[in-house]
Amino acid sequence: MRYDTIFFDADGTLYDFDTSEAEALSETLINAGIEPTPAVIALYHEINLAQWKALERGETTREKLRVDRFRILLEEMARQGVSSNANPLTLCEYYVERLSEKCILIPGAEDVCRKLSKYASLYIITNGLTRVQTGRFSRSPISKYFKDVFISESMGATKPERAYFDMALERAGIKSEEEKHRVLVVGDSLTSDIAGGIGAGLDTCWYNPECHESGDVVPTYTIKKLDELYEICGVPKLEY
């Protein structure tokens, strides 16, 4: 095997976060008496993404993010003539509970994890909320293939910070430079997974199914499908 250790991002890499988010949000809005129209779902997705990007830049905190995304959503809806007396904190708590129950995988993710786990130690690296990630991971069929889950909220550092990756390496037992050269970071986010991995001196693989441009961030590898990892990692062809 070319790599002994693989750090996998969770949302958008192994888990189908967009579908999970839409389902959990629809259930949350219906519970609050708000119609979950495609426009409202799209508006929340835009707001939520902006909040997580702000977290990556150190411009907000997780606790603030959790509630602010719903506060901003309600404010934007009101500006568009859709009023609601829903409480942002109540919406947040209900949504997080629903999202923690969703463990919808990217097609092929389970098979890829199963095969790679025979040859390398697999770990999850995620900026997600602890309550959400532990809930979904405990229900997920891929949990048995992973050695550990490194959740930024529990570690006190966030991807792409160097401190986060240093702690992940330490917890995975990676100490020498030679060992670091046999670690691969796999993720869909250039700004958190790939930039963070590069900053920590690790090889990176950008999962890019929609063929976006990478810009100034240059990953070691780019793939459209997860099973392309077999060749990158050196899995025997008989396993394909």
Rounded Cα distance between 66 and 18, Å, is 17
Contact 25, 95 (CB under 8 A): yes
* Cβ contacts of 86 within 8 Å, gap of 6 or more: 32, 33, 34, 70, 74
Phi and psi angles of residue 33, each rounded to the nearest 5 degrees, phi first = 80, 20
Contact 155, 133 (CB under 8 A): no
Contact 103, 19 (CB under 8 A): no
Rounded Cα distance between 191 and 205, Å, is 13
Rounded Cα distance between 184 and 121, Å, is 11
9 carries an active-site annotation: yes
Single out the catalytic residue among 9, 16, 68, 193. Answer: 9
- Which residues have a catalytic role annotated? 9
